[in-house]
Amino acid sequence: MFNVFIVDDEPFIIEGLYDILDWAEFGLEIAGHAENGQAALAGIRNKPVDILITDISMPVMNGLSLIREARKTHPELKVIILSGYNDFEYVREGLTLGVENYLLKPINIDELQETLKGTVRKLNATRMERALAEFDVRIIRDNILYRWLTWQITPAIMQERAEVLHIDLSAPYVMAALVRIETEKDTTHLLDQLEQHLASFRGMIPFRNVEGELDVIITLRDREADKALAMGQLQDLKRLPGLSGTAIRIACGSIEPMDIAATSYANANRAWQYFFLYPDREWIDYSELPTESRELEAFPVEWGEYAKSIVAKDKDQLFTRIDEDFARLLSFDGITPKEAQTIALELLVRFKMELQEIRHTEQSELFKPGLERVLHATTIADLTVAVKEAAGLTVDALDRDVKSPIIQQILHHVHEHYAESLSLKTLGQLYNIHPVYLGQLFHKETNDSFAEYINKYRIEKAKELLKDPRLKVHEIANQVGYWETGYFYKQFKKYVNISPTEYKALF
């Protein structure tokens, strides 16, 4: 967020400016106010301020003098002038000082909003230019592409960034692919070679994800022809000099419109998980996965409910849902053993993906026994047992992350009461443990401070609620435990990198 400082000798003007806008929706936060220029200078001297909204005619020091003095310590300060007088000399001098706008009182809210939007755009552009100057362009490029493909920035923002970084996203369609080298040797030079080679093809945009792995965005003008061409280029990678005999695995996502490229990337990652089921394959295309069959469309599995039970570590609830789904499966006319096995395999893959997302580690070995049981099952009852065993192993793996019984109780309490006011002091009193020791133990067991953990948990809950078009942002903030909307915006952007309003617009 950018910081705003308000200066006016009429208190009701200051109060009105606080109340007439939802500043957080503009990516702004009011950092302070003053009733004359001299007090304002003292207020912003050691404070980061991006936008100054000031009256012209004030006692002690007028607005024009304030602007000149403030620019000495804040040279990039953006200024919006307020005035009760349509005085040409003031306007002319204000323009020479490079102000964003000269607004007459009473303030026209629409004009103020448009001025703020334009000012924020300029600040964002300045921030981007500064980032390009301070950091390696490739790192920024990789980071932005990854954030775009994981729903962290909107398509509109991505288009702006793409223009600055000279990334061509003008094609109507896109397909993501993951390229992995299977070797115990240092792969740095091999990945560099692959990346340079792929970048030489039209429509190929290789980049490194946060793990340093090689991913590719493939832009398509003709869905079928360009996909076939890209597939051939990817399959030819193993023929490159220096890669002879090196195992390369590739997973391709779905073809999607450019504005939902993140869906293709998510599907490429999902396709990658199927190497767990087919370890002898070198290539998996999402469009060929068996889970897209008519049978699974007719038998939908509510994965969101499974995921909630896993996060809550509620093994009983998880087992009940598995029993209910496979009992429902038995009621389907003409269900074949192969179709039932496909559903069981899909659930195993989902358990593996959920655990990997939570723990950030690959744990294929944990699920291999379950895979064998599913592949050799002869009845739906056998499949049910195999899936329940895999589900149990998933929960057990999460339970091992937290060894202390008291922390397990604390986490259960947090998950049940996250929307309420929570602190180490109140929880310490509730569970008869000193808050300082509780804080140390909590950090040791979860690798997060208590405040960090609850903020992350609340933001995850908020992300779920933001998908509901009926709920307003300030209502969601209250529902997850934030009573100050501005603070909610700040925390959300800290963890998701975009504002709640931008995230809501993705759905």
Find the angle CA(222)-CA(171)-CA(215) to the nearest 5 degrees: 95
Residue 100 has pLDDT above 70, yes or no: yes
User: Do 211 and 119 sit in the same domain of this protein?
Assistant: no
Look at 213 and 290; give whichever has higher pLDDT.
Answer: 213
- When pLDDT is cut at 50, 70 and 90, the band that residue 294 belongs to is very low
The pLDDT assigned to 293 comes to: 39
Q: What are phi and psi of 299, to 5 degrees?
A: -125, 75
Assess whether 234 and 263 both reside in one domain.
yes
Query: Are the beta carbons of 63 and 7 closer than 8 angstroms?
Result: yes
Say if CB 70 and CB 42 are below 8 A apart: no
- Categorize the per-residue pLDDT at 186 as very low, low, confident or very high, splitting at 50, 70 and 90: low
The answer to whether residues 74 and 46 belong to one domain is yes
Q: How far apart are the first and last CA of the chain?
A: 23
Task: Identify whether the C-beta of residue 350 lies closer than 8 Å to the C-beta of residue 266.
Answer: no
Residue 135 has pLDDT above 60, yes or no: no
Residue 132's pLDDT band (cuts 50, 70, 90)? low
| 119-127: long-range pairs with CB below 8 Å, 24+ | 119/51, 119/78, 119/80, 120/2, 120/26, 120/27, 120/28, 122/78, 123/2, 123/50, 123/51, 123/78, 126/76
Q: Give me the pLDDT at residue 57, please.
A: 83
**pLDDT tens digits, 310-359:** 877 888 888 998 998 888 877 766 566 777 888 888 888 888 888 877 76
Residues 144, 264, single domain; the answer is: yes
Once rounded to an integer, what is the mean pLDDT over residues 92-112?
A: 81
Do 63 and 154 lie in one domain? The reply is no
pLDDT band at 295 (very low <50, low <70, confident <90, very high): very low
Provide the whole-model pTM.
0.48
Q: Are residues 154 and 275 in the same domain?
A: yes
- Calculate what percentage of the chain has a pLDDT beyond 70: 90
Number of separate domains in the chain: 4
pLDDT at 476 over 70: yes
Q: Which of 91, 106, 132 is the last residue of a domain?
A: 132
Question: How large is the average pLDDT for residues 262-277?
Answer: 86
**Per-residue pLDDT averaged across 285-307, rounded?**
66
- Give the pLDDT confidence score for residue 88 in this predicted structure: 57
Buried b (16+ CB within 10 A) or exposed e, 293-320: eebbeebebeeeebbebbebbebeebbe
Q: Same domain, yes or no, for 156 and 271?
A: yes
Could you tell me the maximum CA-CA distance found in the chain, to the nearest angstrom?
A: 89
Determine phi and psi for 7, rounding to 5 degrees.
-130, 125
Q: What does the pLDDT read at residue 291?
A: 47
CATH number at residue 241: 3.30.70.870
Question: Could you tell me the CATH number of the domain that includes residue 425?
Answer: 1.10.10.60
Q: Alpha carbon 393 to chain centroid distance? A: 28
Mean pLDDT of 362-378: 82
- Residue range 95-123: mean pLDDT, rounded: 86
Q: Which two tokens stand for residue 264?
A: 């293709």
pLDDT tens digit sequence for 420-451: 989 998 898 888 888 888 888 888 888 888 99
> Model confidence at 258, in pLDDT bands (50, 70, 90)?
very high
CA 309-315-318 angle, to 5 degrees, is 55
Q: What gap in Å lies between CA 146 and CA 148, rounded to an integer?
A: 5
pLDDT of res. 309: 84
482: burial class by Cβ within 10 Å (0-12, 13-18, 19+)?
A: buried
The CATH number of residue 92's host domain is 3.40.50.2300
Averaged pLDDT, 285-308: 66
E strand or H helix at 257, and its extent?
A: strand 247-257
Residue-averaged pLDDT of the chain: 84
CA separation for the pair 475, 467 (Å, rounded): 13
> pLDDT category, 263, cuts 50, 70, 90?
very high
Structure tokens at 183: 């070797």
Kindly report the backbone phi and psi dihedral angles of residue 247, in degrees, each rounded to the nearest multiple of 5, phi listed first.
-75, 125
- Region 121-130: what's the mean pLDDT? 80
Strands 173-182 and 247-257: antiparallel
| pLDDT value at residue 136 | 57
Integer Cα distance of 67 and 95 in angstroms = 12
Per-residue pLDDT reduced to its tens digit, 35-86:
999 999 999 988 889 999 998 888 888 888 899 899 888 888 999 988 877 6
Average pLDDT in the 22-42 region? 91
The reply to whether 280 and 332 lie within a common domain is no
pLDDT in tens, 138-152: 777 888 899 899 888
> Tokens for 371?
């895979």
Question: How far does CA 284 lie from the centroid of its chain?
Answer: 26
- What tokens does 474 get? 């300030």
Residue 33 has a pLDDT of 93
- Please determine, for residue 207, whether its predicted confidence score (pLDDT) is greater than 80: yes
Which of 381, 399, 417 terminates a domain? The answer is: 399
Task: Report d(CA 411, CA 390) in Å as an integer.
Answer: 23
Q: Is 275 in the same domain as 149?
A: yes
Residue finishing a domain among 132, 155, 183: 132
CB atoms within 10 A of CB 354: 17
8 and 115 part of one domain: yes
Among 175-179, 375-379, 489-493, which stretch is predicted with the lowest mean pLDDT? 375-379
Q: What is the pLDDT of residue 219?
A: 95
What residues make up the domain containing 222? 138-286
| Rounded mean pLDDT, 104-115 | 88
Domain match, 177 and 37 both: no
Q: Are residues 177 and 275 in the same domain?
A: yes
